């Protein structure tokens, strides 16, 4: 992988095009599944998939991120459509949301992306990886009732993530199990060093072979063991074009008289922007070349895509992690991959929709299980654990909350916990107390604000009577007045306990409180 990261998008077209085929296979059932979950026409998810690939791909500064309809928006979309009454009215809200995102981009709101703590982003990746594994196990076992791309704990069919797995185990489909196991074994073998070191074989992504293996196995079942063969809901089911186009519609602008459309547009814009920024941060972390995506440009790219998607009756898009991760692990190098995957979706829908129904969902489940494993690999957990509890706790809380509720709630709680640890470490280490026999020193090691009042008061109280105290803070520039007040009060109250307080004054002190009068 000695490729120059600054090359043109055609500089590595072989890797990019093979990776884009994998992303395309994964994207089709996700686009359809998310449409279903959103209560929207199937074609709206496919339109969003095409535009997320082509338009966002062309405009974005990211090389590896893939955009498309997002599971994280599904519940909002579902509620909004029923709120506004028609999908056409909702489409108008999507256009407006796109305009708002474009404005956010010009207002440089992308900068908030830099404030996501890395422990939380990594927790989000691991959480999505775990969800992906848990949600794909039923598909691998041949239970395809729940739609593809579901990420929430409580499913629409009144199951939750774990009961669904239990149900799937009770109703094993032998054919699906054979296909997913064989594909998974192939993927693991293809990821081994023996293949990686082979210059020819390593170019072919494992997931592509897994799809081929799944198709071939199922064709073999049809001919020789019909009782094992999979069909119907167990296959990628892309409806024919005339069936799809029945759901096609354009925005209904009369809804602009209704104030609710603006609330919904703002909600959509904010949530979609947040999810895109999070996914972009995650994509940058996964990038083997460690390229950095400009965040404001990303918001503009997402905004333009959503304006077009709304105009054409598509679902709103965001940058999405599972497709991005599949893209990275299939060896994509540049944005040619995501752009091409958009073209492939369009071509498949327009020219050969029936060709895809040879692909069993259990073969795709094997691919997504591996993607999930990579997102939440044990080495990531170990690495976070080694960094200490102030990293590991926000990381694991993010995962847990994402697993039990949803993505944004997990991020929100994760950030709160991470901020708590930042503040906590600042409170405590800003004030240091040491002693040598009966001599004590209170030393300030960081800027001290009113937030450090309680640790300072505790420090002051911890000093026993009949002792000497030296207060040292020459290297610190900023002292809150509250802090200096506590010190002055201490000088007086110390007399009662027979504590001898001395402020260490030096010529080089940064704050006047600790500066000695210079006598030259």
Partner 1 sequence: MKTHEKLLLENRAWAALQLERDPEFFNRLEHVQTPEFLWIGCSDSRVPANEITNTQPGEIFVHRNIANIVDHTDLNMMSVVQYAVEVLQVKHIIVCGHYGCGGVKAAMGNSSFGLIDNWLRNIKDTYYNNRVELDNLKDASTRADRLTELNVIHGVYNLVKTNIIQRAWKDWNKPVLHGWVYRLSDGILHDLCKVEPGSEIERVYRFD
- Residue 423 binding partner 1, by CB under 8 A: no
User: Shortest CA distance to 141 belongs to which of 84, 179, 184?
Assistant: 179
Minimum Å gap between C-beta 432 and partner 1 is 6
**Window contacting partner 1 (CB under 8 A); options: 16-24, 143-151, 310-318, 438-446:** 438-446
377 neighbors 192 (Cβ within 8 angstroms): no
CA distance 106 to 114: 16
Q: At what angle do helices 260-286 and 71-84 cross, to 10 degrees?
A: 170
**Window contacting partner 1 (CB under 8 A); options: 92-100, 284-292, 390-398, 433-441:** 433-441
- Give the pairing of strands 439-444 and 500-503: unpaired
CA pseudo-torsion sign 315, 320, 326, 329 = positive
**Window contacting partner 1 (CB under 8 A); options: 140-148, 301-309, 449-457, 499-507:** 499-507
Would you say 405 or 475 has its CB closer to partner 1?
475
| CA separation, residue 483 to residues 348, 433, 487, 508 (Å) | 68, 15, 6, 20
Would you say 292 or 434 has its CB closer to partner 1?
434
Minimum Å gap between C-beta 363 and partner 1 is 48
Minimum Å gap between C-beta 435 and partner 1 is 7
Q: Which residues neighbour 487 within 8 Å (Cβ) at sequence distance 6 or greater?
A: 471, 503, 513
CA distance 238 to 341: 16
- Residue 491 binding partner 1, by CB under 8 A: no
Within 109-128, the residues that bind partner 1 by CB under 8 A are: none
- Residue 374 binding partner 1, by CB under 8 A: no
Would you say 416 or 434 has its CB closer to partner 1?
434
How many residues touch partner 1 under the rule CB under 8 A: the total is 16
330 neighbors 207 (Cβ within 8 angstroms): yes
- Residue 502 binding partner 1, by CB under 8 A: yes
Would you say 101 or 474 has its CB closer to partner 1?
474
Minimum Å gap between C-beta 463 and partner 1 is 13
Among 59, 500, 505, 515, binds partner 1 (CB under 8 A): 500
Among 103, 208, 209, 441, binds partner 1 (CB under 8 A): 441
Would you say 141 or 430 has its CB closer to partner 1?
430
| CA separation, residue 34 to residues 74, 81, 130, 156, 304 (Å) | 6, 14, 19, 12, 21
Minimum Å gap between C-beta 475 and partner 1 is 11
Among 435, 451, 482, 503, binds partner 1 (CB under 8 A): 435
Would you say 12 or 474 has its CB closer to partner 1?
474
Minimum Å gap between C-beta 445 and partner 1 is 6
Would you say 215 or 441 has its CB closer to partner 1?
441
- Residue 390 binding partner 1, by CB under 8 A: no
Would you say 238 or 499 has its CB closer to partner 1?
499
- Give the pairing of strands 431-436 and 439-444: antiparallel
- Residue 256 binding partner 1, by CB under 8 A: no
286 neighbors 375 (Cβ within 8 angstroms): no
Q: Residue 39 carries which DSSP code?
A: T
Would you say 436 or 496 has its CB closer to partner 1?
436
Minimum Å gap between C-beta 517 and partner 1 is 18
- Residue 386 binding partner 1, by CB under 8 A: no
DSSP symbols for 427-487? HHHTEEEEEETTEEEEEE-S-B-GGGHHHHHHHHHTSPSS-EEEEE-TT---B-HHHHHHH
Among 24, 90, 440, 479, binds partner 1 (CB under 8 A): 440
- Residue 436 binding partner 1, by CB under 8 A: yes
Q: Residue 67 carries which DSSP code?
A: E
DSSP symbols for 303-352? HHHHHHHHHTTPPPEEEEHHHHHHHHHTT--STHHHHHHHHHHHHHHHT-
Convert 130-163 into a string of H (helix), E (strand) and C (coil).
HHHHHHHHHHHCCCCCCCCCCCCCECCCCCEHHH
Within 451-490, the residues that bind partner 1 by CB under 8 A are: 468, 470, 472
CA distance 308 to 306: 5
Which structure tokens are listed for 488? 């002055």
Q: Taking the CB of residue 519, how many other CB atoms lie within 10 A of it? A: 5
Minimum Å gap between C-beta 72 and partner 1 is 39
Would you say 231 or 426 has its CB closer to partner 1?
426
Sites of contact with partner 1 (CB under 8 A): 429, 432, 434-436, 439-441, 443, 445, 468, 470, 472, 500, 502, 504
């Amino acid at each position: 992988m000695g490729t120059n990261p600054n090359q043109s998008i055609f500089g590595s077209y072989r890797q990019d095009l093979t990776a884009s085929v994998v992303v395309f296979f994964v994207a089709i059932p996700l686009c359809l599944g998310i449409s279903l979950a959103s209560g929207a026409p199937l074609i709206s998810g496919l339109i969003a998939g095409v535009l997320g690939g082509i338009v966002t791909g062309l405009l974005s500064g990211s090389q590896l991120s893939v955009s498309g309809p997002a599971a994280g928006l599904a519940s909002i979309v579902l509620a909004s459509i029923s709120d506004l009454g028609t999908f056409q009215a909702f489409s108008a809200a999507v256009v407006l949301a796109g305009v708002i995102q474009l404005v956010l981009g010009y207002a440089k709101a992308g900068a908030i992306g830099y404030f996501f703590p890395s422990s939380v982003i990594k927790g989000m990746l691991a959480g999505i990886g775990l969800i992906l594994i848990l949600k794909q196990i039923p598909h691998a076992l041949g239970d395809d009732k729940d739609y593809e791309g579901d990420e929430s704990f409580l499913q629409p069919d009144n199951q939750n993530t774990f009961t669904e797995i239990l149900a799937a185990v009770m109703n094993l489909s032998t054919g699906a199990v054979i296909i997913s196991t064989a594909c998974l074994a192939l993927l693991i073998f293809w990821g081994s060093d023996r293949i990686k070191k082979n210059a020819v074989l390593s170019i072919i992504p494992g997931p592509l072979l897994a799809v081929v293996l799944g198709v071939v196995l199922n064709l073999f079942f049809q001919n020789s063991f019909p009782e094992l063969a999979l069909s119907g809901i167990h296959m990628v089911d892309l409806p024919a074009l005339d069936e799809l186009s029945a759901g096609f519609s354009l925005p209904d602008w009369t809804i602009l008289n209704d104030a609710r459309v603006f609330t919904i547009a703002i909600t959509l814009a904010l949530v979609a922007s947040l999810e895109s920024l999070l996914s972009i941060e995650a994509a940058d972390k996964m990038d083997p070349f460690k390229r950095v995506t400009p965040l404001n440009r990303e918001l503009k790219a997402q905004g333009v895509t959503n304006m077009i998607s709304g105009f054409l009756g598509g679902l709103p898009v965001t940058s999405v992690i599972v497709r991005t991760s599949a893209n990275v692990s299939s060896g994509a190098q540049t944005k040619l991959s995501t752009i091409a995957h958009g073209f492939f979706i369009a071509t498949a829908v327009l020219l050969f929709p029936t060709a895809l129904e040879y692909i069993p969902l259990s073969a795709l489940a094997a691919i997504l299980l591996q993607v999930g494993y990579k997102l939440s690999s044990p080495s990531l957990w170990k690495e976070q654990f080694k960094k200490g509890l102030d990293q590991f706790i926000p990381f694991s809380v993010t995962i847990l909350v994402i697993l039990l509720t949803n993505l944004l709630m997990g991020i929100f709680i994760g950030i709160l916990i991470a901020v708590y640890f930042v503040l906590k470490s600042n409170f405590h280490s800003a004030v240091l107390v040491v002693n040598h026999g009966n001599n004590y020193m209170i030393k300030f090691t960081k800027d001290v604000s009113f937030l450090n009042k309680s640790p300072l008061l505790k420090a002051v109280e911890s000093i026993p009577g009949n002792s000497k105290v030296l207060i040292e803070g020459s290297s610190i520039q900023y002292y809150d007045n509250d802090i200096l007040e506590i010190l002055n009060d201490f000088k007086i109250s110390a007399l009662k306990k027979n504590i001898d307080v001395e402020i260490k004054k030096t010529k080089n002190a940064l704050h006047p409180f600790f500066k000695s009068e210079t006598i030259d």
